[in-house]
Amino acid sequence: MLKWAIIFFVISLVAGGLGFTNVASGARGIARLLFGLFLVIAVVIVIAAVVMGQAVF
Domain ranges across the chain? 2-52
| pLDDT of the residue at 41 | 93
The CA dihedral of 16, 19, 25, 28, to the nearest 10 degrees, is: -20
Alpha-carbon gap, residue 43 to 46, rounded angstroms = 5
Alpha-carbon gap, residue 25 to 29, rounded angstroms = 6
Give me the residues of the chain with pLDDT under 70, please: 55-57
| pLDDT of the residue at 56 | 56
Please give the model's pTM, rounded to 2 decimal places.
0.73
Alpha-carbon gap, residue 50 to 26, rounded angstroms = 37
For the chain, report the end-to-end CA distance as a whole number of angstroms: 20
